[in-house]
Structure 1
C-alpha cells in the first residue's frame, strides 16, 4: 500500500512525533511507500481565520522541512520510497500568490496535493472543517446548507481549472470534506450530481483524487472522503485514486485502509 497523504511535526495542529516515527510505523504496516504532504504555508497576505492561526506550516520552517525530508529519504532509501510533498491550499482570490509559491517550491517536491479548506462568504474566509460551529457560520452566511455545498464544489472546480503553472499539484485532496460534519448537518438534497460534475473536470484535466480515510475517525462524519457512493462514481470514470491516511500522528497511519483495500492505486501516479 502507498499512502499519499501523511502529515508531520511541522503541522502546528498535529502531533510532535518525529518524522522517523512515521517512517518506522509505515514499515511496521508494510507500506510500499509514502508521501509526506504537510500543509504548505498559506499564501502571502492571507489571514488564517482559525482562532489559533495554526492551519498550516510557518513559512520560516519550510526549508527545514524540506531538508529533514531529504535526509530521511536518503537514510531509508533501501527500506521504503519516500516522496517529499506538500498539501497546498487553493484559496479563492489568492491564485497568483499560490502560483508564485509553486514556482518557487515546486522544483524541490516529488509530489503534492491541492485542497480546499477555506471558503469565501460574505467578504470573509472561513475554514469549513475547523469545527461544527464554524461550519454552521458558513450555513448562516451563505443562506442554506446546499449553498455551502455549492460554494465548496465550485471552489474545488475552480482549483481544478486554475492555471497554477508547471508545478500545480496533480491530485485533488479529500473531495468531499464538506461532509465532515454531515451527521450534525444532514443533507436533504442530492449531493452525488454535484461531486460527479467535479469529477468530470478532474478527468478532463488528467488529475487524480486523494481517497482519504480520515473521515472514518471523525465522530460527525464516519465515512471516507469521498464517501462510498461518490467513490463508486470516481471509479466508473476511471479517475486515478490514491489512498491517503491524512495522518497527523504515526498511530493514524493506515486509517481507512482496510475499507479502501483494492479500490486505490498501490503507487502514486506520475
Structure 2
C-alpha cells in the first residue's frame, strides 16, 4: 500500500501556501492510499528559535484551526484515501517537560506523529542544524569540528529516543541522519555507521518506527535519503517499521523520489 507519512501544509511558516486539498488530491491521483500531515508543531513558548525569521514551528494561534481543517479533509475524502492528522514535534534538549505537557494537550487530537531533531545545544547556545550550509559549518567550528558535531547530533537523537515525553510521545523518529544534509559542503569523510546502528538498535528496543525520508535526495549537499539505503535495509532486518516520508513543503514535492526508493528497497 502506498503511504506517505511526512507531509507539511500551508500552516508551515517556512513552506508554501499550497492548500491541504491540493496535497490530498495529488496523493489520490498518485495512487496513495494513506497519508499523514505532520506540520511542524509550535515550539515551546520559552524557547527562542535561533533562525533569523523565527519560523521553524507553527504559530500556536493557528494550531486548533490546523486540526479543524484536517478533520474536515479527513471526512471529505474518507472514501478515497485515509488521512492521518499529526505533527512533527521537535525534541529540544532542556525542554522535555514543556514538550511532554504540549503532547498531553494535543495528543488526543492526533492519529500519528513524528519526533525529530533540528536543534542542537552546545554550551548555552542552540542552533538549527539544517538551516543553511553556513550555519552548519560555523557550528562545526564552534564544537571542535565535523566529527564532534556529528557525535553531538546523534547523542541528541539518542536522548530523544529515551526521553520521557509522556503517553502521546511520537513513535516515529524523523529523518535520523539529518546531519548529512550538508555532508558535501565539507571535505571530510565521516564514518558514522556505528552511531546510526546504535540508533537503530535503540529504536528496535523502544518499538519505534523509522521515517524513511526522501527529501535529502533533493538537497544538493546531501544527495541521499535520510537514512541512506544500507541503514534502511538494516532497519528492515531489525523489524523496525519503515514509513516512507516525502517531507513535502509544497504540493509539487509530494511523494518526491518515491519510485526510486521503492525500486531500491521494499518497504
How many correspondences in the alignment? 265
Pair 1:264–1:124, CA change in 2 (3 A): farther
Aligned to 2:237: 236
Provide the residue aligned with 1:66 in structure 2: 67
In the superposition, the TM-score normalised over structure 1's length comes to 0.96
How big is the shift at 1:28?
1.1
Matched position secondary structure for 2:156: helix
Q: Contact between 1:211 and 1:264, CA under 8 Å: does it hold in 2? A: no
Listed as ranges, the gaps of 5+ residues in structure 1 are 266-270
CA distance in 2, matches of 1:227, 1:150: 17
Specify the alignment match of 1:161 in structure 2: 162
Asked if the contact 1:66/1:84 (under 8 Å) is kept, the reply is: yes
Alpha-carbon distance in structure 2 between the residues aligned to 1:187 and 1:200: 26
- What's 1:126 paired with? 127
CA change 1:23–1:73 in 2 (3 A) is same
Deviation digits for residues 144-182 of structure 1, max 9, x if unmatched? 101111011100000000111110000000011000011
How many angstroms does 1:229 deviate by? Answer: 2.3
Corresponding residue of 1:88: 89
Report the secondary structure of 1:141's partner residue: helix
Cα deviation, 1:174-221, whole Å, max 9, x if unaligned, reads 011000011112443321111001111111100011000000111111
The alignment's TM-score, normalised by the length of structure 2, stands at: 0.97
CA distance in 1, matches of 2:187, 2:248: 26
* SS in structure 2 of the partner of residue 181 of structure 1: helix
Q: Give 1:260 shift.
A: 1.7
By how many angstroms is 1:264 displaced? 5.5
Distance (Å, rounded) in 1 between the aligned partners of 2:266 and 2:159: 25
2-structure distance, mates of 1:186, 1:173: 26
Q: Which runs of 4+ in 1 moved over 3 A?
A: 262-265
1:242–1:264 CA contact under 8 A, matched in 2: no
The answer for unaligned runs of 5 or more in structure 2 is none
Q: RMSD in angstroms over aligned alpha carbons? A: 1.1
Are 1:75 and 2:92 counterparts?
Answer: no
1:268 paired residue number: none
Secondary structure at the residue paired with 1:34? strand
Structure 1 residues 244 and 186: alpha-carbon distance in aligned structure 2, compared to 1, 3 A threshold = farther
1:152 aligned residue: 153
Partner Cα separation in structure 2 for residue 242 and residue 183 of structure 1: 26
The structure with the largest helix share of the pair is 2
The Cα shift of 1:140 comes to 1.0
1:232: how far off? 2.5
